[in-house]
Amino acid sequence: MMAAVEVRGPLLVSACLAGVRCRYDGRAKTSDELLGRCRELRLALVPVCPEQLGGLPTPRPPAAFRGGDGRRLLAGQAGLFTAAGLEVSEKFLAGARQAALIARVTGARGAVFQEKSPACGVEQVYLDGRLQPGCGVCTALLRRQEGLSVWSVAGFLGELAGRQGRAAC
Ligand code: SF4
């Protein structure tokens, strides 16, 4: 469940949402609506790609959780593996720590992340072969260690719409 907090910047944003070609398949996932709304509100965005920050190449094999989501992985109770069975948990942990460092030095107030990603997923991730409730490794670390709110694009735009609605009352 997303926390109902005031939306303030600067915000970390999944780099692929900002147009960076950093996804596993070498493509971006640009959200023009997100970028446009943040421009209108003059919210500073800090693009980060935790998978690249952890040292993974682009393009790269996709990875999925076994045994639990990002929260469980932080606790050492789950792992991330490619389809070929290669464990990449340490790379994801390293990238999450780097993103947390960037959040601290930029004074980030929250993050808007790409849903379903094993690093950035907010409410859903691929776990044990199917999409399940859970969050990515970086999302889990930012929430637990940095106390940041992390939204999906839909959740963030909904939060902005709610604010506008309340302001208009
Ligand atoms: S790790 Fe996050 S920023 Fe990087 S490609 Fe995946 S969803 Fe996008």
- Per-residue pLDDT tens over the stretch 39-85: 999 999 999 999 999 999 999 999 999 999 999 999 999 999 999 99
pLDDT band for position 3 (50/70/90)? Answer: very low
The mean pLDDT value for 19-40 works out to 97
Residue 155 pLDDT greater than 50, yes or no: yes
Residue 2 pLDDT greater than 80, yes or no: no
Burial 22-41 (b: 16+ CB within 10 A, else e): bbbeeeebebeebeebbeee
Closest atom of ligand 1 relative to the 95 alpha carbon: 1
pLDDT at 6: 59
| Token pair in block for residue 126 | 């691929």
Closest atom of ligand 1 relative to the 119 alpha carbon: 1
Q: Which residues line ligand 1 (CB under 6 A)?
A: 14-16, 22-23, 49-51, 114, 117, 119-120
Residue 96 pLDDT greater than 60, yes or no: yes
Calculate how far, in angstroms, residue 29's C-alpha sits from the geometric centre of ligand 1: 9
pLDDT at 8: 72
Residue identifier of the C-alpha nearest atom 8 of ligand 1: 16
pLDDT at 129: 87
How many whole angstroms separate alpha carbon 129 and alpha carbon 139?
Answer: 20
Closest atom of ligand 1 relative to the 24 alpha carbon: 5
Structural contact between residues 81 and 88, judged by C-beta atoms closer than 8 angstroms: yes
Structural contact between residues 65 and 126, judged by C-beta atoms closer than 8 angstroms: yes
pLDDT at 166: 53
pLDDT at 141: 98
Calculate how far, in angstroms, residue 50's C-alpha sits from the geometric centre of ligand 1: 6
Q: Is 78 helix (H, G, I), strand (E, B) or coil?
A: coil
